[in-house]
Structure 1
């Protein structure tokens, strides 16, 4: 959805952690430049989320000025990364996941067990049963 609104955007950044959603354009630009050490006037979009994970702000530069978009979901919430205070670059695929309420980090698959490891575990169980 957002990628259709923002053609020409090369990079998407998620501001991990919580952002004071009362901030406007100037406050968010200041956060980008001072905390994240990034240039807000490049072909980038910056996404911010507050304490309530049901709303986000998107800030981008269109060549002549800043655009600030606001989205609030009526049901559900965004799966926002809370463990860091950094700007994490994400792919278009991760952006789509985030806007659909999904995690942006891929889920780890179940580890495959090789025959040797299975035999090793199996022999331990058999030894316990013999005792």
Structure 2
């Protein structure tokens, strides 16, 4: 299982992209359509038309990484197809990559502790 760090931002493109594009082609989409920096450390998630493939694009500090996954007998759960992006938590991304229903994963917010002497 791929588990991203808890402090990373994850943005998912809700509209399918041309899966013939490589890392630099997807980086160009991030810059042109989302007006964002593909080399900022944010994980950008892209889907195929058939919803059985996924690509993750991110900068790890030393280079551009492109992760590709294809499910053999099912499809990834995706939000409604529309323009733009939506934010996921790292836990939701992990569920999505496993082929699970990521919409059922919710982060619990806890109050920041204070040190007492």
| Structure 2: gaps of 5 or more residues | 106-117
**TM-score, structure 1 normalization:** 0.70
Q: What root-mean-square deviation, in Å, do the aligned CA atoms of Structure 1 and Structure 2 show?
A: 2.1
**TM-score, structure 2 normalization:** 0.77
Larger relative contact order (C-alpha < 8 A, sep ≥ 6)? Answer: 2
Residue 98 of structure 1, aligned match among 96, 100, 114: 96
| Structure 1: gaps of 5 or more residues | 108-131
How far apart in 1 are the matches of 2:49 and 2:35? 23
Number of residue equivalences: 105
How far apart in 1 are the matches of 2:41 and 2:33? 19
How far apart in 1 are the matches of 2:92 and 2:6? 17
Larger Rg: 1
Runs ≥4 in structure 1, deviation > 6 angstroms?
none
Higher helix share: 1
Evaluate the alpha carbon distance shift between residue 88 and residue 22 of structure 1 in structure 2; reply closer, same or farther with a 3 A threshold.
same
